[in-house]
């Protein structure tokens, strides 16, 4: 099933997908080497962040596996025979997960504040609060206020097949719905395997 791929962190787009168009700087060899000048490196991190967000958005990737990404076209330009090293890729993702990086990523698991040992990361081409607004817009636009939906229906149901949040990682969906709960716009209930949400 093509729709299941985003939840696994797989980096291969569905066979029917339009190929991702890499930006011009992706063909510039120094882009794949950490720059020593701090100002240049900050600009490099910003470009990597934009590229990762765009690539994940295009391919419907919500959870990025660092190890898988190293061997994917995202971090490996086969035409140039250049790839981002593991340490440099982790540095970019750490920057994305910071305030200067716009909190556009969040490590999953790991230990301590630095999330040492984490190998997967949520890529926030939309942050949870932004997803919450998208979900709220869908609820308003489709007359779902007062309705009760399972979380599965929200991300896998036919009614949301055309929506950007279709196929979303279930844990990310819950993080986004918690934003709506705090805003007084939703209530989550039920057991772990059959969670539902009611929108207000």
Q: pLDDT value at position 11? A: 52
Count of domains observed in the chain:
2
pTM beyond 0.75: the answer is yes
Statement to judge: residues 6 and 104 lie in one domain: yes
Choice among 85-94, 114-123, 165-174 with the minimum mean pLDDT: 114-123
Q: pLDDT value at position 17? A: 66
Statement to judge: residues 60 and 117 lie in one domain: yes
Statement to judge: residues 150 and 115 lie in one domain: no
Statement to judge: residues 117 and 68 lie in one domain: yes
How confident is the model over 61-96, as pLDDT tens digits?
Answer: 999 999 999 999 999 999 999 999 999 999 999 999
Which of 123, 155, 187 is at the close of a domain?
123
Opening angle at CA 130, ends 128 and 134, nearest 5: 110
Q: 20: number of CA atoms within 13 Å, CB side?
A: 22
Statement to judge: residues 143 and 190 lie in one domain: yes
The CATH number of residue 157's host domain is 1.10.10.10
The CATH number of residue 66's host domain is 1.10.10.570
Statement to judge: residues 116 and 136 lie in one domain: no
pLDDT band at 145 (very low <50, low <70, confident <90, very high): confident
Average pLDDT (28-36) is: 94
pLDDT band at 119 (very low <50, low <70, confident <90, very high): very high
Statement to judge: residues 91 and 22 lie in one domain: yes
Statement to judge: residues 104 and 194 lie in one domain: no
Q: pLDDT value at position 14? A: 46
Statement to judge: residues 95 and 188 lie in one domain: no
130 has a pLDDT exceeding 70? yes
53 CB-near residues (< 8 Å, 6+ apart)? 104, 123, 124, 125
Q: pLDDT value at position 196? A: 86
Across the strands, what pairs with 123? 105
Among 38, 68, 64, residue whose Cα is nearest residue 49: 64
Domain that holds residue 96: 2-123
Q: pLDDT value at position 116? A: 79
């Amino acid at each position: 099933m093509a729709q299941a791929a985003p939840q696994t962190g797989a980096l291969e787009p569905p066979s029917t997908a339009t190929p991702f168009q890499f930006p011009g700087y992706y063909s510039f060899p120094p882009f794949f080497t950490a720059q020593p000048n701090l100002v240049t490196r900050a600009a490099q991190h910003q470009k990597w962040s934009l590229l990762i967000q765009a690539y994940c958005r295009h391919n419907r990737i919500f959870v990025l596996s660092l190890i898988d990404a190293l061997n994917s076209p995202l971090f490996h330009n086969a035409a140039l025979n250049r790839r981002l090293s593991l340490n440099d890729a982790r540095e970019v993702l750490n920057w994305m997960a910071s305030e200067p990086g716009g909190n556009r990523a969040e490590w999953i698991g790991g230990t301590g504040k630095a999330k040492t040992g984490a190998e997967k990361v949520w890529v926030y081409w939309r942050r949870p609060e932004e997803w919450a607004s998208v979900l709220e817009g869908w609820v308003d636009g489709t007359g779902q206020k007062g309705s009760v939906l399972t979380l599965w229906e929200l991300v896998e149901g036919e009614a949301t097949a055309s929506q950007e949040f279709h196929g979303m990682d279930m844990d990310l969906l819950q993080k986004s719905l918690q934003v709506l709960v705090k805003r007084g716009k939703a209530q989550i209930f039920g057991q772990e395997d059959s969670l539902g949400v009611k929108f207000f």
